[in-house]
Structure 1
Amino acid sequence: MALSTAELSLVEQRVANDAPSTAVAYLLWFFLWIVSGHRFYLGRPGTAILQILSYFVIVGFIWLLIDAFLIPGMIREKKNAIRADVMTQLSGYGHS
């Protein structure tokens, strides 16, 4: 079932309001890298803990550098999840 333009606008507004900030994610990555603050902020506590544990070997530092390139994709995934959740909520209200 298709959503109206107003409902789609509401979805995009919710995504804009609820999605994590790229700037904040990079600031956390830069300043709180030792505690993987950016991964906790982006809702990935499991991999954050793995990353912290892996700092005891060189892999953790390589992973941290790779995250600099992965942050935009993680934010895009989070926005898509928010968008899907809001669209599901709106669809559940019995629109035709």
Structure 2
Amino acid sequence: MATDRVSAQYDIEKKSLLVAYLLWAFLGYVGAHRFYLGRPLSGLLMLALSGIVLLVTLVSFGLLSFLWFIVAVWWFIDALLIPGMAASRNTDIADRVFGRR
């Protein structure tokens, strides 16, 4: 009985690869997928970097190109890292919900 409830809790909280990739595709440049997958610090870094890029857009095009390049590379690398991030987050959720820690 308790196992069913714990399994249901895990199913409610586990993270979806589809949602993670949709966030990455449409809002990845601000780190939305990282917030979703429980990585708020790197999400904040991406958000801050994107904010800086936006600010620099208004000031200088040369630096903007370099910063957008950094954001683009990070965004692309995250496409490869999302399955591992989701698995790690789901393991953390499972450990917490199933009482393994």
TM-score, normalising length from structure 2? 0.68
Between 9-18 and 23-32, the greater mean CA deviation after superposition: 9-18
Q: What's the counterpart of residue 72 of structure 2?
A: 61
Shift of 1:75: 0.8
Shift of 1:19: 0.7
Aligned pairs, number = 85
Q: Which amino acid aligns with 1:61?
A: A
Of the three residues 34, 38, 46, the one matched with 1:51 is 46
TM-score, normalising length from structure 1? 0.71
Counterparts of 2:81 and 2:4, CA distance in 1: 28
Any stretches of 5+ residues in structure 2 without a counterpart?
54-66
Of the three residues 57, 60, 81, the one matched with 1:70 is 81
Counterparts of 1:73 and 1:8, CA distance in 2: 26
Q: What's the counterpart of residue 15 of structure 1?
A: 10
Q: What's the counterpart of residue 87 of structure 1?
A: 98
Any stretches of 5+ residues in structure 1 without a counterpart?
1-5, 92-96
Q: Is 1:29 the equivalent of 2:24?
A: yes
Counterparts of 1:9 and 1:72, CA distance in 2: 26
